[in-house]
């Protein structure tokens, strides 16, 4: 991203000089394993990416906050002396939700001009929304000296998405965007928020992200539906065992209690969460012991569970994974993110990456008529001020 060009765009948009413009960045994320476990109190293993959302900010000596982005034509503003209202499905809801949470915690901002610019593919499931929320929260905290630590900003941004935007997400996306460190993944217990930065020692391997380029129109509504199904399963199991989350159970305990869940679909949803939690623990152990091949096998099992028990994949994601597994150099491949489109993540031997991109892309296009985009992932830092 060319910061000087962004500054020129900012000055062209808002006029005046650019001497007092501040620049911030928060990344997108990819989750290596541990999907749909975060809002069930389980374990996840994401890492921050080198691409994300840039934010240029300047105080404007007014009571207005102006929003613009280089990614869409739509712009907007809010008056700090009035209540904030949700604006349909606009991207502006994400930063406005963050400002609303600051306001609720008696942290008052002043009028500012904001220009966002993201290089995360829209709708790819790589957490462009969380990166917008986190870069807004981080920038306001820095600019106005609120003194909140990163974890407080993570929780604030999650609340913004839950309460203002209306997506009942867990904490993983905001956490990864804020807390990432280059060349490390984050092993997070979403119940306690205890975490460990784990070096990604993938010698001779690459992380390859493949974007289905299918619009994820059902993702938000189905996401909320899956969460409700999990909560219903918890209530059913509580008739015999006092648990707070599905992740309080291991698979043996679940098998002994699953008869308490009367709905067969909800039983499948719960089975995925609990088995995925166990896979994530096994994956961390495998990575720490250098057993990369076994880590890849667990990624494969994760996708199969998301396909068969959680039913959040769809033909496009399944096709990408099927094509990826045909390549000799692929150790493991799975969907990542909420599902219903978006991306897959694969661990591929370095000398097979070119073949992977060519052959997987060809097979995917032949079977779906869509053209996939591929990214060889670089693992980057979390939220930061650039200038």
Annotated catalytic residues are 173
Inter-axis angle of helices 93-104 and 150-159, nearest 10? 120
**E strand residue ranges, the chain:** 22-31, 43-44, 46-59, 64-69, 76-79, 112-118, 184-189, 195-199, 205-211, 330-336, 343-349, 373-376, 384-385
Pairing of strands 64-69, 112-118: parallel
Residue 277 is classified by DSSP as: H
How far apart (Å, rounded) are the C-alpha atoms in residues 333 and 210? 10
Q: Would you state the structure tokens that stand for residue 179, as one six-digit string? A: 């807390």
How far apart (Å, rounded) are the C-alpha atoms in residues 97 and 174? 14
How far apart (Å, rounded) are the C-alpha atoms in residues 298 and 280? 8
How far apart (Å, rounded) are the C-alpha atoms in residues 198 and 380? 13
Is the dihedral angle over the CA atoms 119, 122, 124, 125 positive or is it negative? positive
Q: How many CB atoms within 10 Å of residue 12?
A: 10
Q: Would you state the structure tokens that stand for residue 41, as one six-digit string? A: 């109190």
Residue 11 is classified by DSSP as: H
């Amino acid at each position: 991203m060319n910061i000087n060009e962004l500054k020129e765009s900012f000055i062209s948009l808002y006029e005046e000089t650019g001497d007092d413009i501040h620049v911030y960045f928060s990344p997108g994320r990819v989750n290596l394993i541990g999907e749909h476990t975060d809002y069930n109190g389980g374990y996840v293993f994401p890492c921050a990416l080198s691409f994300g959302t840039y934010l240029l900010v300047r105080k404007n000596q007014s009571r207005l906050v102006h929003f613009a982005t280089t990614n869409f034509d739509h712009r907007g503003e809010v008056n700090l002396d009035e209540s904030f209202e949700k604006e349909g499905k606009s991207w502006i809801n994400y930063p406005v939700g963050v400002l609303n949470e600051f306001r609720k915690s008696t942290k008052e901002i002043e009028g500012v001009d904001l220009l966002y610019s993201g290089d995360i593919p829209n709708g790819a499931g790589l957490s462009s929304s969380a990166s917008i929320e986190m870069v807004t929260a981080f920038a306001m905290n820095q600019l106005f000296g609120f003194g909140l630590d990163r974890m407080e900003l993570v929780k604030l941004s999650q609340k913004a998405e839950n309460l203002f935007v209306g997506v009942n997400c867990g904490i993983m996306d905001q956490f990864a965007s804020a807390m990432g460190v280059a060349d490390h993944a984050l092993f997070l217990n979403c119940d306690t928020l205890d975490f460990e930065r784990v070096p990604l020692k993938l010698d001779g391997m690459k992380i390859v992200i493949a974007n289905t380029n299918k619009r994820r129109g059902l993702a938000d509504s189905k996401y909320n539906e899956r969460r409700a199904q999990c909560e219903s399963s918890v209530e059913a199991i509580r008739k015999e065992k006092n648990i707070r989350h599905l992740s309080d159970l291991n698979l043996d305990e679940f098998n002994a209690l699953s008869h308490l869940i009367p709905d067969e679909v909800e039983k499948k949803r719960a089975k995925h969460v609990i088995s995925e939690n166990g896979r994530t623990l096994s994956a961390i152990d495998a990575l720490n012991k250098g057993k990369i091949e076994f880590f890849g096998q667990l990624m494969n099992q994760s996708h199969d569970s998301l396909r068969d028990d959680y039913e959040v994949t769809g033909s496009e994601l399944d096709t990408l994974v099927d094509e990826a597994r045909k390549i000799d150099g692929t150790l493991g491949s799975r969907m990542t993110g909420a599902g219903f489109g978006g991306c897959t993540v694969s661990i591929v031997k370095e000398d097979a990456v070119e073949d992977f991109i060519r052959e997987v892309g060809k097979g995917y296009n032949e079977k779906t008529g869509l053209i996939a985009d591929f990214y060889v992932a670089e693992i980057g830092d979390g939220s930061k001020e650039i200038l």
